[in-house]
């Protein structure tokens, strides 16, 4: 089992979640974070830390967010690992809660 970073993280990219991860399984892209499903130990510590509520257990992944399970696995092998909290983008609050952000994803 794994946790999955979903669409609402795009352009918000709060990094509160990475500090609590005991196995450092978060990876950072230009405007999105992902969780490596092979490294995640399903501890659930990250989920409540996400201000954008963008992290879900694989079992509780909403139907319209299922593609993010594969996307997390794909991008975790190419993006660098992140283990420390950083400041969010200046416009993060403006993007929080907006739908249809997948087209905004920068690889």
Q: What is the CATH number of domain 3-83?
A: 3.30.70.20
Output the six-digit token pair for 50.
């996400």
Q: How confident is the model at residue 104 (pLDDT cuts 50, 70, 90)?
A: very high
Query: What does the alpha-carbon distance between residue 96 and residue 54 come to, in Å, rounded to a whole number?
Result: 9
Nearest to 9 by CA among 106, 107, 101: 101
pLDDT at 60: 98
Q: Per-domain residue ranges for the chain?
A: 3-83
pLDDT tens-digit map of 10-47:
999 999 999 999 999 999 999 999 999 999 999 999 99
Q: pLDDT > 70: what percent of the chain?
A: 100
**In the prediction, which pLDDT does 18 show?**
98
pTM: 0.97
Length of the chain equals 107
């Amino acid at each position: 089992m794994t946790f999955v970073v979903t669409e609402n993280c795009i352009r918000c990219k709060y990094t509160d979640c990475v500090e609590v991860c005991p196995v450092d399984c978060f990876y950072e892209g230009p405007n999105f974070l992902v969780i490596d499903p092979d490294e995640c130990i399903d501890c659930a510590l990250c989920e409540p830390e996400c201000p954008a509520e963008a992290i879900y257990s694989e079992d509780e992944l909403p139907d319209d967010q299922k593609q993010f399970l594969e996307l997390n696995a794909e991008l975790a092998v190419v993006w660098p690992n992140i283990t420390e909290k950083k400041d969010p983008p200046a416009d993060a609050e403006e993007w929080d809660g907006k739908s249809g952000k997948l087209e905004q994803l920068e690889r």
